[in-house]
Amino acid sequence: MPPQESTEKVAEEQSSFSRSTSKVRDFFSIPAPVKQLFDLVPVVTYPPNQLPLRAPKSARIPSLYVFSKDQDAAAGRPSFNPSCLKWQTFLNIAGVDHRLISSNNHSSPTGSLPFLLPAIYGPNSSQDSLVPITSNKFVKYAIEHGGKVEESSSMRYEAYQSLLDHRIRNAWLYTLYLEPLNFSAVAYPLYVLPTSSNPLVRASISHQLRSAAEAELLKNTSIIDTDDLYSEADKAFEALSILLGEDSWFFGSDKPALFDASVFAYTQLLLDDDLGWKEKKLCRALRRRANLVQHRERLLVRYFGGS
Amino acid sequence: MADPVDSGDELFESLRKIDLKKEEEKAKELARKEAEHNAKAQQRLAELIGTNSTLLVTISSIRLIGGAHTRRSFLDRLFNPLLSANRDRPYTLAEALNEVGSVATKLQRFDIFHPEVHTFIDRPSPTDPSSTVTDIDIFLQARERGRISLKTGTDLGNVEGSAYGNLTWRNIFGGAESLTLNASAGTRTRSAYQATFDAPVLSDPDTRATIDVLASSTLKPWASHEEVLKGAGAKFSWATKSGTRHQLGYTGVWRQITGLQSNASPTVRHDAGDTVKSSITHTWLADRRNHPFLPSRGYLVKTISELAGWGPLQGDVAFWKSEVETSGAVAIPIPGIKGDSGVSFTAGLRAGVLYPLAVGLGSETKHSRINDRFQLGGPTDVRGFKISGLGPRDGPDAVGGDIYAAGSANLLIPFPRVGKDMPLRLQLFANAGRLLALKDKKTSSESVYSTVAQLGDGIPSVAAGVGVVYAHPVARFELNFSLPLVMRRGEEGRKGLQFGVGINFL
């Protein structure tokens, strides 16, 4: 029975091979008596230590980290940062229950707010629940967690979104950070004062903010032309106004969607008198479009209790 | 043999050949004679001083030879108190030499001269009408060190390797002032730059004033973040007559918690961002141990107190922080071994408390932040636990605590055959620690008291083990096999081998 013999031989070889590999493994693994010793300790294990007082209280709902004042965050009022406000509004529209946490860019995994921290159920939750969800995954998250999400598939959607992301955003950056009157009246108290009480730190952060805004604007042009920025924004508002027309929501939808939230992110902040705008060119351009003003009112009443 | 020609040749040969042995012997003889001569001279001098030790002298002048870059006013402060013109009574010769010796030691300690400072004594010429019979002149001969030195190297610290560059400018204004620029980068310190200006006050090497500026960025993997610091400080340090040291300093530093890891805990995320700490710190140190890394007798007491943010200090954080560190060592005599057995027992105790305050004169108490809270655990404090393995934990992060206490007991035994003179010991240790966050109570003092009381709840977290200790001149190395015996859930023990390098062990 030669074939059997050879298989036996092969088996033998295999077993000797596995024996030698297990020897190698044994060399690196913990010897049995030591393993037994390790299993004995710790002899006593007490309940975990209490967390420090500043640690946020764990919640059963996810936490949305945004730029906000502490008391506004607790009351769920609109964030003062457009991209935070866009996603805050989106989550409200989608009906994803969340709490707001006032924070800053340093806490974010991407270096900018907002992000969502999933709900934590007790101290035994898995490590995954600590990994934050960045804003580009919010739509997916909302769908997965039973949110009502209207997907706008219109071809025109992209074009109008780019109006917001470029023309209006550029004018926004200019009017907030580079108009000196607005910077000291609006941006400074919102973005700089909460960081530190130290005047040197505040001066340094002010400088960083302004130069970051300038660098962002200079990405596409070689010089910053104020009139051009404002007139482009004016045209963009005009286009949005025409798009909305007599409808309640954009793209003739019967319910608001992400695009409505994107528009609201700017219209809410430009029309909010509490922010104390000093140079109001951009605000006036928006106020001339009555249907956009009404659109903002509609969302504010419906999702933020009209405050 | 008797052939004269032959013997003449031999003589010639012997002259031509350089007999190495003979040469060596000659050299030895010469050295011996010189040493003998020196010893005799020394002896004569000693005898001379001995017989004349009560001889009354007056020091009429002290001269430093080789101090071209050293300021006159700086030396005056050092030498003037010695001059007899400034004293009401004359010296005996022994006293005078003693005083001069201590000044020479002081000169060496300024770090501006090479270690050898020679002293010469001379009598002024009797023809000089201004001199008296008892007058002597002192000459100190020293060699100044290079004023600028550049050093680069690598450091191996606690789980951290780093490379550094160091530029020192010595004796800037001729008064032993120094400016040090230091830059380093490593595995955990991503970058660190520091400039330090240091100057002795009133020509006293033990009294120093220091100003420093720093910028650094350090990874804190135990709490998933990176801390960026920019700050400046001023310190004043002095020594008391009994040999204890004080340091009083002010620091203003802008701290940024940034670069969070993706799974950072909510506690760390909540503390991310900017804070300014403006604080005064006092440190007191009494070190009476016989060896800094491997003491067999003596004790050390150190206290650190820091007040931040309160009253005029301002800033973004406010607290009072106190820490005490003590350690003691006793040699254990072993019956049957004469003299020092090399076996010693050391014990250490550390404790700290952070008492929250309100910034400025406000009334709203600020809760502590992660960069102000204490961390505990690791191979250099509570062995048998990972770095920052003790205390409150949020997910993967050691978030620190406001109150801690830790103690250790070590028995150090010399290796058989190697002997007690090698700085190598076998160690048996047991150490324990507790790190707690303040409880939520109505007032700060209530929460501090109740948390201190909580230190006694149950057995503290304990680990024990055996290991090898090696005291290298620059640091102490330990390799231990440890077992954590008592823990809190979430605390990270280290079962098995643990390696520690440091200069300050519990």
The residue to which tokens 């954009």 are assigned: A250
Interface with B, mutate which of A130, A195, A202, A205 (most B CBs under 10 A): A130
The pLDDT confidence band at residue B432, using thresholds 50, 70 and 90, is very high
Domain closes at, from A145, A163, A187: A145
CA distance A58 to chain B (A): 9
Chosen domain end from A93, A122, A145: A145
Based on the fold, state whether residues A90 and A118 are members of the same structural domain. Answer: yes
A134 touches chain B (CB under 8 A): no
Q: Which domain holds residue A103?
A: 63-145
Classify residue B174 as left (phi > 0), alpha (psi -120 to 50) or beta: left
Beta strands in B318-380 (DSSP E): 319-331, 344-356
Q: How many residues does chain A have?
A: 307
Of residues A41, A63, A201, nearest to B485 (C-beta): A41
Q: Do residues A165 and A133 share a domain?
A: no
Contacts of B315 in chain A (CB under 8 A): 197-198
Lowest mean pLDDT among B103-112, B348-357, B394-403: B103-112
Indicate if A136 and A170 belong to the same structural domain: no
Chain B from 232 to 271: CB within 8 A of any A CB? 254, 256-258, 260, 262-267, 269-271
CA-to-CA distance for A113 and B151, rounded, in angstroms?
A: 44
Do A177 and A122 reside in the same domain of the chain? Answer: no
**How far apart are the C-alpha atoms of A75 and A94, rounded to whole Å?**
19
Task: Look up the pTM and report it.
Answer: 0.81
pLDDT band of residue B183 (cuts 50, 70, 90) is: very high
Of the three residues A145, A175, A208, the one that is the final residue of a domain is A145
Same domain for A299 and A173: yes
Is B249 or A243 the better-scoring residue by pLDDT? B249
pLDDT-based confidence at residue B61 (cuts at 50, 70, 90): confident
Q: Is the pLDDT of residue A7 over 50?
A: no
Would you say B372 and B341 are in contact if contact means Cβ atoms under 8 Å apart? Answer: no
Name the percent of chain B lying above pLDDT 70.
95
Say if residue A196 is in the same domain as residue A75. no
**What does DSSP assign to residue A57?**
P
pLDDT (average), residues A266-271: 89
Q: How many domains is chain A partitioned into structurally?
A: 2
Helix, strand or coil, per DSSP, at residue A173: helix
Rounded CA separation B325/B304 (Å): 9
Tokens 């077992």, residue? B483
Sign of dihedral through CA atoms B147, B151, B157, B163?
positive
In this predicted structure, what is the pLDDT of residue A2? 42
* Domain-located, residue A2: no
Least confident of B78-87, B262-271, B460-469: B78-87
A92 alpha carbon, distance to own chain's centre: 14
Q: Which helix (H) or strand (E) holds B150?
A: strand B148-157
pLDDT surpassing 60 at residue B3: no
**Cα–Cα separations (whole angstroms), residue A168 to A78, A257, A273, A279:** 19, 19, 19, 16
pLDDT tens per residue, range B319-372: 999 999 999 999 988 887 777 788 899 999 999 999 999 988 888 888 999 999
Q: Which carries the bigger pLDDT value, residue B197 or residue A18? A: B197
Is A283 in the same domain as A166? yes
In a domain, A8, yes or no: no
- Shared domain check, A126 and A189: no
pLDDT of residue B278: 94
Do A159 and A293 belong together in one domain? yes
Kindly report, residue by residue over A72-131, the tens digit of the pLDDT. 888 888 899 999 999 999 888 888 888 888 998 898 888 888 998 887 655 545 555 678
Structure tokens at B282: 């006092």
Residues in Cβ contact with B369 at an 8 Å cutoff, skipping those fewer than 6 apart: A54, B271, B275, B317
Which of A36, A54, A61 would best serve as a mutation to test chain B binding (most B beta carbons within 10 A)?
A54
Say if CB B497 and CB B400 are below 8 A apart. no
- Alpha carbon distance B381, B383 (integer Å): 6
Q: Is-contact B172 B178, C-beta < 8 A?
A: yes
Contacts of B100 (CB under 8 A, 6+ apart): B59, B62, B82, B119, B138, B140
Lowest mean pLDDT among A16-20, B176-180, B422-426: A16-20
Q: What is the pLDDT of residue B116?
A: 82
A21 is a domain residue? no
The token duo for B397 is 């992060």
Residue A113 resides in a domain: yes
pLDDT one-digit tens code per residue, B138-167: 888 888 888 888 988 887 766 677 888 999
**Cβ distance of A48 and B400 shorter than 8 Å:** no
Go through A169-179 and write b for each residue having 16 or more CB atoms within 10 A of its CB, e for each that does not: bbbbbbbbbbb
Q: Is the pLDDT of residue B469 over 50?
A: yes
pLDDT band of B209, cuts 50, 70, 90: very high
Give the residue from B463, B406, B491, B386 showing the smallest Cα distance to A41: B463
Chain A touched by B466 (CB under 8 Å): no
- Name the range with the highest mean pLDDT among A32-41, A71-80, A222-231, B244-253: B244-253
Confidence of residue A6 (pLDDT cuts 50, 70, 90): very low
Which amino acid, one-letter code, is at B358? Answer: A
Residue A13 falls inside a structural domain: no
Specify the CATH number for the domain of residue A258. Answer: 1.20.1050
Q: Which of B287, B268, B296 minimizes the C-alpha distance to B423? A: B296
Alpha carbon distance B266, B56 (integer Å)? 77
Tell me the pLDDT tens digit for each residue of A281-302.
888 888 888 888 988 888 888 8
What is the Cα–Cα distance from B465 to B379, expressed in whole angstroms? 12
**Lowest mean pLDDT, pick from A220-229, B152-161, B484-493:** B152-161
Q: Is residue A198 part of a domain?
A: yes
CA distance A126 to B44: 84
Instruction: Assess whether A233 and A269 both reside in one domain.
Output: yes
Cβ–Cβ < 8 Å for B92, B55: yes
Surface of A (225-244) touching B: CB under 8 A? none
Range of lowest pLDDT (A68-77, A155-164, B226-235, B258-267)? A155-164
Mean of pLDDT over chain B:
87
A120-159: pLDDT as tens digits? 655 545 555 678 888 888 888 888 877 777 766 667 788 8
pLDDT at A124: 47
Question: Is residue A181 domain-shared with residue A128, that is, in the same domain?
Answer: no
Cα–Cα distances in Å, from A60 out to A99, A117, B297, B399, B450?
10, 11, 57, 22, 30
ipTM above 0.85, yes or no: no
What are B79-107's pLDDT values in tens digits?
Answer: 888 887 777 777 788 788 888 888 888 88
Residue A23 inside a domain? The answer is no
Residue A282 within a domain: yes
- Do A221 and A80 share a structural domain? no
Identify the pLDDT of residue A307. 52
Angle formed by the axes of helices A155-162 and A258-271, nearest 10°: 20
Which domains does chain B carry? 38-141 (3.10.20.310), 148-502 (2.40.160.50)
| C-alpha distance from A158 to closest chain B C-alpha (Å) | 31
Q: Tell me how crowded residue A218 is: count the other CB atoms within 10 A of its CB.
A: 11
H helices present in chain A, as ranges:
2-28, 32-40, 70-75, 82-94, 138-144, 155-162, 169-173, 180-182, 199-217, 226-244, 258-271, 281-287, 290-304
Q: Is the pLDDT of residue A3 over 70?
A: no
Do A106 and B258 count as a contact with CB atoms less than 8 A apart?
A: yes
Between B39 and B452, the more confident residue is: B452
Please indicate whether, in this complex, the C-beta atoms of B368 and A54 are within 8 angstroms of each other. Answer: yes
> If we measure between CA atoms, which residue out of A63, A131, A72, A133 comes closest to residue A101?
A63
